[in-house]
Amino acid sequence: MTIQETLQPGVVVDTNPATGKAVAELNETDLTRLPAIIAGAREAQAIWAAKSFKERARHIQMMRSYIVDRADDLARIVSESNGKTLTDALATEVLPCALACNWYARNAEKHLKASRRAPGSLLFFNKRTEMLRLPLGVVGIISPWNYPLSIPFGEIVMGLMAGNAIILKVAAATPAVGRAIEQIVTAGELPEGLFTHVVGSGSKVATGFFENGINKLFFTGSVPAGKTLMAQAAQTLTPVSLELGGNDPMIVLEDADLERATNGAAWGGYQNAGQSCGGVERIYVVDAVYDAFVELMARKTRQLRHGVGCKGFDVDIGSLTTAGQLRTVQQHVEDALAKGARIEAQSRPVGDVDNGYFFPATLLTQVTDDMLAVCDETFGPVIAVQRVANEEEAIRKANDSHLALTSSVWTRDNKRGRAIAARLESGVTTVNDHLYTHGLSETPWGGGKQSGIGRTHGPEGLEEMTQAKVVNWDILPSKRNIFWYPFDQATYNGLKNAMQFVFPSGIAQWLSASLKLTPFLVKKMFTRWKTD
């Protein structure tokens, strides 16, 4: 049974990837209605943008209360739709949503309110500038199946607090979570039409977004899909924010706390069945502690249990979410073994795993740089460990990737860790931790290279949901700026004196320029342009 299947035209079934059983049915959105949906969103957005930050925050806090009150139900829906465990769903999906509501409701005004910009030169003494962060209008969000609740919901809250309308398209594999998001947003009692969840083909929805003038698109997904969307967006110059995955390195130095490092590696690499764009995929361990690290990591990997995550709490790792992703993980491991890698340890199954997309947590050693599990994103519960001679080799190998989302350094010396972090090519580097910063609403999320463009979360994410606007005015009335018409020798000399006044070669030049500049300014700014 496939994850998404159509029983009849226009009906989509959400199937639990761990059990193969249907968990929900949703009606597809009639995409011929998309122009009307976007038009309605624009009307609602005008009403919403007129509200104060405090008024918007009240609606967002109502959503937070709904999330907290129904945390168990939301965790179950995510677990059944995505395949992850109930604990994973609560910790990495439900809790971050509540945190996002709280942080953006409290902090959006501080980061988006109007601010004054000081003049950059005495030449513009008469000018004052105010910077505004205005809503974009209607924002489209196309979200992935690996974190079907927390990824889109964080962007929804950012967009709403910035004053936008939102149209959401969730992944085809997890439509039931989209319906849960609808219910959360409904609890916020927003103006009608301000938020819409559409169900249907991602490519068709994206095309409809661009054709109908969406103001910006936020997309999280694969590199190929992101490139396709960016090419489409170029036709209408629609701005995009793209988060396209990672192949995250972890560096373990000789002074690392191996107990913490192996604990962090296990969670960062196997959590969510490894389907985390910011999860641990490559580990570079300095030679002095390599054997000890691998032995401890192998013991912990063998203790982990994989199985159906929605039925209880006796499993650590759930299933993968799609059949296609399972095939990718299998291919990467097969490629590694064919090239000489060794499976050092695997997790053990618990219960019935025959009907789901399960792959055991797998620790690979004796890996080389040409293996897919090292040079590409596996996006599964597979960790590849390499021995390196020293810190410098670890940094070089960590940076040798076309993806640059996050990374981590493990050492007892925080100063050393921060120094190495500054040299690693990634959007986020953590010292003695990994992956969790996506749940910190105050920190920006995103990376470089082919990991995408733009940022979500934090003040930077809020700014991505707005457009900057400059408002500039004179504090004293004047007839003309000094560089306006009419031009003559006096205008040229006056401008030259102005330049020498602000950038003098010495005190004598400054005094001379000052004496000549003052009468020129008075004449140019406060006398009429004689036209007869």
- Separation of alpha carbons 100 and 91, rounded Å: 13
Predicted pLDDT at 9: 56
| Residue 50 identity (one-letter amino acid) | A
Q: Which two tokens stand for residue 257?
A: 């706390």
Nearest to 150, CA basis, from 191, 105, 186, 180: 180
Which residue in 155, 243, 344, 391 is the catalytic one?
Answer: 243
The mean of the pLDDT values for the chain is: 96
Instruction: Decide: 71 and 99 in contact? Cβ < 8 Å.
Output: no
Predicted pLDDT at 430: 98
Rg, the chain, Cα only: 28
- The 8-class DSSP code of residue 123 comes to G
Average pLDDT for residues 24-44, to the nearest whole number? 96
* Counts for the chain of helices (H) and strands (E), in that order: 18, 23
Nearest to 438, CA basis, from 237, 278, 307: 278
> Is it the case that residue 377 has pLDDT exceeding 50?
yes
Q: How far is CA 240 from the centre of its chain?
A: 12
- Separation of alpha carbons 77 and 174, rounded Å: 10
Instruction: Decide: 87 and 313 in contact? Cβ < 8 Å.
Output: yes
Average pLDDT for residues 289-297, to the nearest whole number? 98
Q: How far is CA 405 from the centre of its chain?
A: 10
Contacts of 334 (CB under 8 A, 6+ apart): none
Nearest to 179, CA basis, from 164, 168, 194: 168
| Residue 310 identity (one-letter amino acid) | C
| Residue 484 identity (one-letter amino acid) | W
- The 8-class DSSP code of residue 246 comes to -
H or E element in which residue 473 lies: strand 466-474
Average pLDDT for residues 20-24, to the nearest whole number? 96
List the single range of 1-10, 228-237, 244-253, 301-310 with lowest mean pLDDT.
Answer: 1-10
Predicted pLDDT at 389: 98
Partnered with residue 317 across adjacent β-strands are: 306
Give the pLDDT confidence of 410-451 residue by residue, as tens digits. 999 999 999 999 999 999 999 999 999 999 999 999 999 999
Residue 344 among the catalytic residues: no
Instruction: Decide: 363 and 374 in contact? Cβ < 8 Å.
Output: no
Ramachandran region, residue 126 (left: φ > 0; alpha: ψ -120 to 50; beta: rest): alpha
DSSP 366-394: S--TTSHHHHS---SSEEEEEEESSHHHH
**Domains, in order of start, for the chain:** 40-119+126-244+460-469 (3.40.605.10), 248-440 (3.40.309.10), 479-526 (no CATH)
pLDDT band for position 6 (50/70/90)?
A: very low
DSSP 12-43: EEEE-TTT--EEEEEEPP-GGGHHHHHHHHHH
Nearest to 89, CA basis, from 229, 304, 226, 275: 275
Cα 34 to Cα 38, 196, 197, distances in angstroms: 6, 10, 11
Counting residues of the chain whose pLDDT is more than 70, the rounded percentage is 98
Q: What is the pTM of this model?
A: 0.95
Provide the pairing of β-strand 342-346 with 362-365. antiparallel
CA contacts within 13 A on the Cβ side of 524? 22
| Residue 439 identity (one-letter amino acid) | G
Phi and psi at 419, nearest 5°, equal -65, -40
> Is it the case that residue 225 has pLDDT exceeding 70?
yes
